[in-house]
């Protein structure tokens, strides 16, 4: 006689950036164990790969998880986690009060997750007769630049996330141009124009989880914000 195997409950969530509706189940004991093992390594690329693998295992989707913006992946992970192990968790952070070495004991409520979405469609005006269209990078693209310094990261994101260039007479679809041609265009920008494009990537949508707590030593209240997939993980 075979042992009974439980069927996992099904849930769904609408992702905040792409608007895609995703069905998912809670993660299982074996999946949580694998994530905890990777967590000990603390390398961002390994954590990301593990996160994507887990989400692909628990979701029903007709697209690749790493094709989503990082914000959608973080939002999806937090919802999966809430349905898997509960919406609240106790966490500790060092107290930030001067001369205090205590610990801030916080209770995180995942239902209070916040999504910040800048009010922009990605079309950047560089001059009166020149505009570019930028898209929010996928998580896969973001991981290709994660180890670069800030300026190199911004430039590389421009190269891989710029989809069109507009002038008074033409619309240039950059899918039809070589990487070297796109790079030459970016290199021809003034510093002011480069800065206008950089603002788009400096203010990408983000997921934040605010929390409050009380220090176990000085007794004062404090707050903290969790942000970024490594910290969520």
The ranges assigned to domains in the chain are 11-114+206-232, 123-202
- Do the Cβ atoms of 198 and 205 come closer than 8 Å? no
**pLDDT higher than threshold 70 for residue 232:** no
Residue 44, CA distances (Å) to 48, 111, 146, 231 in order: 6, 25, 9, 10
Q: Which of 98, 50, 88 is nearest to 217 (CA)?
A: 98
Write the pLDDT tens digit of every residue in 74-95. Answer: 999 999 988 888 888 888 888 8
Give pLDDT tens digits for 144-174. 998 899 889 999 999 999 999 999 889 999 9
């Amino acid at each position: 006689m075979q042992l009974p195997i439980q069927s996992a409950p099904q849930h769904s969530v609408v992702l905040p950036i792409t608007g895609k509706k995703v069905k998912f189940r809670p993660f299982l004991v074996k999946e949580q164990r694998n994530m905890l093992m990777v967590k000990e390594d603390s390398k961002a690329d390994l954590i990301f790969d593990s996160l994507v693998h887990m989400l692909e295992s628990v979701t029903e989707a007709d697209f690749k998880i790493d094709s989503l913006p990082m914000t959608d992946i973080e939002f999806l992970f937090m919802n999966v986690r809430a349905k898997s192990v509960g919406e609240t968790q106790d966490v500790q952070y060092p107290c930030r009060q001067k001369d205090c070495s205590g610990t801030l004991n916080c209770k995180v409520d995942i239902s209070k997750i916040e999504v910040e979405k800048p009010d922009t469609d990605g079309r950047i005006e560089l001059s009166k007769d020149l505009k570019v269209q930028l898209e929010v990078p996928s998580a896969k693209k973001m991981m290709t630049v994660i180890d670069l310094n800030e300026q190199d990261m911004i430039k590389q994101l421009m190269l891989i996330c710029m989809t069109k260039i507009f002038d008074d007479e033409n619309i240039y679809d950059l899918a039809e141009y070589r990487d070297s041609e796109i790079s030459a265009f970016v290199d021809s920008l003034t510093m002011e124009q480069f800065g206008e494009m950089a603002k788009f990537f400096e203010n990408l949508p983000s997921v934040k989880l605010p929390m409050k707590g009380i220090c176990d030593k000085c007794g004062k209240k404090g707050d903290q914000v969790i942000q970024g997939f490594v910290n969520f993980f």
